[in-house]
Structure 1
Amino acid sequence: MNALPSVERVELDELTCWRVHVGDAELLVAQQGAQILHYQHGAQAPIIWLSEQAAYHRGQSVRGGVPVCWPWFGDLRRNPPAVQAQYAGGTISPAHGAVRGLDWQLQGIEQADGAVSLNFVFDSRQHPLPDWPHAAELHLSIRLDQQLHLKLGSRNLGEQPLALSQALHSYFAVSDIRQVSVQGLDGCRYIETLDNWQQHRQHGALGFAGETDRIYLDTPTRLSIVDPGWQRRIHLDAWGSHSAIVWNPWIDKARRLSQFAEDAWQRMLCIETANVGDDIVTLAPGESHSLRLTLSSEAL
């Protein structure tokens, strides 16, 4: 008989975290950035990858898990002009926005129907973002049952339209990146950032034989990671998103990354459910947008 769902507060170095158990599923979430750090079922391999060299310091995103990138993704200078125009700073801006390194407010913990939900909020009126003078409220609902459900909601509380890009920067654990593939991208346009941001089209499943950093557009609701080594398939089901970033640093770049072992590239794959490129979000005053992602796995 499965134990009842449980939630406990834990401290990891400088960060307050929440550990959740539902059935055989275990989830760990940091209050800073509302960042998921760990997700696993029983004795199976973790679904979400966390670096063996992860550091739990205030003001610094933890390497791995699911950081929230908002109100822009990646290098602001590579974002559409409407997103760039929201920023009032100079040419130097933090990658992926700022909310992933800031404390969010835990609004509540709910237990119902055998599931546990953690509800976080970040309000830029109470905690203004540097050089981003806009009133907006960001919600992240994390619900754990036998699957993991994320809902990232953005609401424009200002008096002018608000343009933003965003991503759930999900790191997935894999047995060996050289053996896995991603299904669901066949026919999608993608931007090859490693080839001067040229646009191409995907043919068939995506495999990996070197550094990968691609922005896929017109993505379907479901993408799947097929992992023969662990005999499983991880499904990503997304709504409110028609773009995704697929990233693995491979050998050379891995040596330059912080909180990242030299060989860790073999054991991880990022598929970032996103609103980027021509899929950015533009909110009228008072308007909201929801980006939803459900993660599940099954045996091959």
Structure 2
Amino acid sequence: MAIRFDGKVAIVTGAGGGLGREHALALAARGAKVVVNDLGVARDGSGSSHSPAEAVVAEIQALGGEAIASGASVTDFEAVKAMVADATAKWGSVDILVNNAGVLRDKSFAKMDVEDFRFVVDVHLMGAVNCTKAVWDGMRERNYGRIVMTTSSSGLYGNFGQANYGAAKMALVGFMQTLAIEGAKNDIRVNCLAPTAHTRMTEDLGAALPLEALGPELVSPGLVYLVSQDAPTRCILGAGAGGFERAYVTLTQGVRIVGDDAADQVAARFDAISDRTGEIVPDMGAAQGMIELTKAHKAHS
């Protein structure tokens, strides 16, 4: 059965181009009413223009869909709250939030200004926090919500020159993990999408990537599923070039080491600590402590 969003209202941030535009078009094509949010800035966050968002709204309307533009900066909580209030006043609710807005200020850490680090974290992480906070109470009241964070392989696995971007993107995974737990009783499902796509954010990587195979439209089917009625929760979904993968944060069973030579034993037994046999995907952070306490209990029984 085809996924539909009739009667649902979605906010997509950073939707004036690239991935966000494709996400907005895909949701609208399946019946969602869409708030197209875009500040219209350059890749590094400079400047602003409402025209990219308005152009996407025009595309959606030309295809028979419903959409409104928003030029709110995701770093401005008051502006974000006003955006959510406008959508709610017009359409009654916000059911779906796609946190996609982002900027790049790539440099090696040695050459990176602290302000460039702070700004990238502010847009990616705090921007998602602001937007999520603005919709959270309404979703709890209606016992329904679908939220996606845009993470990245740069955060999950690292990438030279992107310490700021990678830190922000991995932080979004931690944000998702806790929100999925807290939102479960109100049917708020929270997931992460890790896209590989050719957009203006990746245009400097052209020599290293087969750009013709990395259209952003090939990522959006994953997004559509992650915000659907039957969506999973706490999923990190990789998507690009038509491929879809799932990433996990895992925990090995490890070993117990105590005593005066414990540090030396950690070094000596590091292969055993790292052995992935029987590794788990914890339901919550307390799982680590439970594994450790179980080892201690066995040692004393």
- TM bracket (short chain): under 0.3
What's the TM-score, normalizing by structure 1?
0.26
Which structure is higher in helix share? 2
Higher relative contact order structure (alpha carbons within 8 Å, sequence separation ≥ 6): 1
Question: Which entry has the higher C-alpha Rg, 1 or 2?
Answer: 2
